[in-house]
Structure 1
């Protein structure tokens, strides 16, 4: 039996289908419904990497017509969580978000793309705080937001 996560296996099946990224994104939001409010679209997923986009539309706006700070946080957490789930050895370890430090660098007035990446290979230990850096870019490829999301990794009992 493979040590790949069910999420990564599902991604690998869906990505080659017509509308596969859209279907996979919907499935992620079905599993974690809160993320559905921003209608994220997962662009790419592999061990150590996830990228996703949120469209610039009124439902994610703040009072000044730009993408709300918390929508940016939600997108960062989605990317980090999906990436970690696809990366942590499913047979031996589990994870949960523990904290997040963010920096808002500019107003987000376009669609926004998030990228969560960690260096691999990684030695997985018990009771580890894994810091996952996430960067958000506007459509002009300007860095508009950064987050360091702490994922608490533990061995399964």
Structure 2
């Protein structure tokens, strides 16, 4: 079990536990603090995070900036991958293909899941992660497929 998942399981049901976990993760990877994420759910093969529509993530149109959604997708996909890969392996993002489906005018929710259930871990492989970002009406505004390079630890 990953260190992040252990910490999540310790904090998730405590008062302000989800907020504390979100802040701790952003201390480890500071760039993600730019979107002020809030983790809602984390388990192997699933990560759900929320992001408020706030000034720091807006573009010139007053909607959520495309790169803020990319940041949200990478955070959800990477954390889900971390909670999913066996402790004998390590991972790193290798690439991301994105689709901007419509303007993001509200708070957002990102859901990350593996493309393939029951993935077989080898010494080195590409692990694909789906991330869908929806608005408050549960309408998709963004989709991504992130390629994670997973390899056995040396």
Q: Does 1:114 align with 2:115?
A: no
Deviation digits for residues 15-67 of structure 1 (CA, Å, limit 9, x no counterpart): 11101000000011000000001100001000000000110111100000000
Query: Does structure 1 residue 98 correspond to structure 2 residue 90?
Result: no
Moved more, 97-106 or 112-121: 112-121
Q: Distance in 1 between matches of 2:36 and 2:76?
A: 13
Residue 37 of structure 1 aligns to a residue whose secondary structure is helix
Match in the other structure for 1:136: 133
Q: 2: distance between equivalents of 1:126 and 1:73?
A: 28
1:68 paired with 2:65, answer: yes
Structure 1 runs, 4 residues or longer, greater than 3 Å off: none
Q: TM-score, structure 2 length as denominator?
A: 0.97
Displacement of 1:102 in angstroms is 0.1
Q: Which moved more, 1:77-86 or 1:122-131?
A: 122-131
Unaligned runs of 5+ in 1: none
Q: Which residue of 1 aligns with 2:36?
A: 39
- Alpha-carbon RMSD across the aligned residues, in angstroms, is 0.8
- Compute the displacement of 1:120 (Å): 3.9
2-structure distance, mates of 1:24, 1:95: 21
- Match for residue 78 of structure 1? 75
